[in-house]
Structure 1
Amino acid sequence: MQGMIQSGFGLPFDIKKQVETSRDFSQALDVLMDTVGEFGFTQVLYAYLPIPPQLPNGDWLPLKLNVRNFPKGWEDGWNRFMKVDPYYRACFQGTLPIDWTRVQANGNLAAVQREACSYLNDFGLSHGITVPAHLPFGRFAVMSAIVDRQDIDWNTMFESVREPLFRLMHTFTKSILDMKFENQIDTVRFSKLTSRELECMKWAAAGKTSEETSIILGRSIETVRLHIKNAITKLEATNRSQAVAIAVRLGLI
């Protein structure tokens, strides 16, 4: 990966050096905003998942967006779209930069995904480029650079900046990981299991039945079954085995 990014407008950016002098992820995100601003973009978002985005039950983890310069109030209604975000889902159809206008024109989008696009459009966020980074061990990161101006030749802009944005994203991601900023990136907090629920799930993961777990923990079978039932509900699983798999994937047990 190159540390020096050259935009389509002939502007050099040593993003690696600037991230290395940042005190934390928040300041590094400011650097990213300043950099994409030189390309002509007005907003930027960055998101990260330390585990594979899709769970064993087929569900998708919600993607928490860390943003700069987004309109006030945009996040109030976004929670319902965090799992179905069409730009997020498009990242798993390839590795190259994604043109938002082409995603919006996709006739196969679900109704809720079209609603997600319309929601952002209402805030003026309709022209963007999303760049995914599929990292080792299933980790995932994504950056979107957005422009809210209407007086642009979008097709020309996209063609001009997609390559440098691709290099920018991968250099930025490697730099923040090298700087150990990974744990500072805001992600969605998953429903927490109680200590008793975790105990029961740990023994379930070890292959113990509810009867065996009740003896180990000195609790009634009914209590163990209740804890496991609650864990299944919290993890949005359909059965005990699936709940165990999800808990392991999320690093809870």
Structure 2
Amino acid sequence: MKLAVQESAVSLRETTVDGAFDQLFAQTSRLGFDALIYDYTPVPRSLEGELITPSLLRMCNVPGDMQRLWLENGYYQVDPVQHYALESCAPFVWSYQRPDNTSLQNRLSDLNKPVTHYMCDNNMPSGATVPLHLPNGGFVTVTGIHTGAGHELDIHDVLAELSLLALTFQECVFPLFDSSILTCRHVRLSKRERECLTWAAEGLTAKEIARKLNRSIATVTLHLNTAARKLGASNRVQAVVRAMHYRLLDS
């Protein structure tokens, strides 16, 4: 599989994420898909279990308001396809018009109605999604969408090819991601707050951290307390655990 991905990657030699995404859309179009969505999040779920809004979301040939709704209006958090993708390691077909014949069987509720209505009202009733669970906990989905009804069987025929394209694309674009994409945005800590928490994770006291950073104990304590407040932690141990969940101490 790795060799196949490397060979397929030759056709996706791009120096920008947008350029590679345009090529991916061209390739998925040849498979019969009318629209394409890609998203990446370094941490897929919050500690409360909610889906975290992606740090990178690309959409092609979708309604103009779709990206805003998914990023800013909470549609991503109630998207049943995304919820199913997080629980799956295999590509799958979905349909809002015929959910009982696809992965959405018994998964649609009133909570999902904004997404269900939007997809059907905008003629995007079915498609396929490839979930990619990455090293270090990152998560990706590549979704091809069909306009019109009755394409579920056609989608099954190209599921393997879509999966290979998704793997190839991710292999090509991941080196292009900068720190703004690779950093979880669910909780935002300053550089100094992250630094102090990193030393706290090593077992250092505020006094020892102050000596390391050549700062006063009061300043270090302020940074640690501020970080704990942002993370919703009641003490430093909990703050470190929560920061590690959100991969804020990785660097």
TM-score range, shorter-chain basis?
0.7 to 0.9
Scaled by the length of structure 1, the TM-score of the pair is: 0.74
Q: Which residue does the alignment assign to 2:128? A: 129
Q: Which residue does the alignment assign to 1:155? A: 152
Shift of 1:113: 3.2
Matched, 1:61 2:52: yes
Q: Which residue does the alignment assign to 2:93? A: 99
Residue identity matched to 1:53: P
Shift of 1:43: 0.9
Residue identity matched to 1:174: E
* 1:46-72 superposed Cα distances (whole Å, 9 cap, x missing partner): 1223x4524556454322421112211
Residues 228 and 236, structure 2, Cα contact 8 Å, conserved in 1: yes
Matched, 1:169 2:166: yes
* Mapping 1:187-202, distance limit 5 Å: 189-202=185-198
Shift of 1:18: 1.9
Residue identity matched to 1:62: T
The CA distance in 2 between the partners of 1:52 and 1:76, in whole Å, is 20
Shift of 1:181: 2.5
Sort the Cα spacing of 1:105 and 1:52 in 2 relative to 1 into closer, same or farther, 3 A. Answer: closer
Residue identity matched to 1:231: A
SS of corresponding position for 1:116: helix
Shift of 1:130: 0.5
Residues 130 and 143, structure 2, Cα contact 8 Å, conserved in 1: yes
Between Structure 1 and Structure 2, the one with more helix by share is 2
The CA distance in 2 between the partners of 1:248 and 1:47, in whole Å, is 22
Q: Which ranges in structure 2 are unaligned for 5 or more consecutive residues? A: none
SS of corresponding position for 1:75: helix
The CA distance in 1 between the partners of 2:225 and 2:75, in whole Å, is 27
* 1:202-244 superposed Cα distances (whole Å, 9 cap, x missing partner): 3432334567767874244xx7665444323433556543331
* Mapping 1:22-41, distance limit 5 Å: 22-41=14-33
Sort the Cα spacing of 1:212 and 1:174 in 2 relative to 1 into closer, same or farther, 3 A. Answer: closer
Cα RMSD of the aligned pairs, angstroms, is: 3.5
* Mapping 1:100-249, distance limit 5 Å: 100-101=94-95, 102=99, 105-109=104-108, 111-148=110-147, 150=148, 152-177=149-174, 180-183=175-178, 189-208=185-204, 217-220=215-218, 227-237=223-233, 240-249=236-245
The CA distance in 2 between the partners of 1:195 and 1:29, in whole Å, is 31
**Percent of residue pairs identical:** 27
Residue identity matched to 1:183: D
Residues 52 and 139, structure 1, Cα contact 8 Å, conserved in 2: yes
SS of corresponding position for 2:158: helix
Matched, 1:252 2:244: no
Scaled by the length of structure 2, the TM-score of the pair is: 0.74
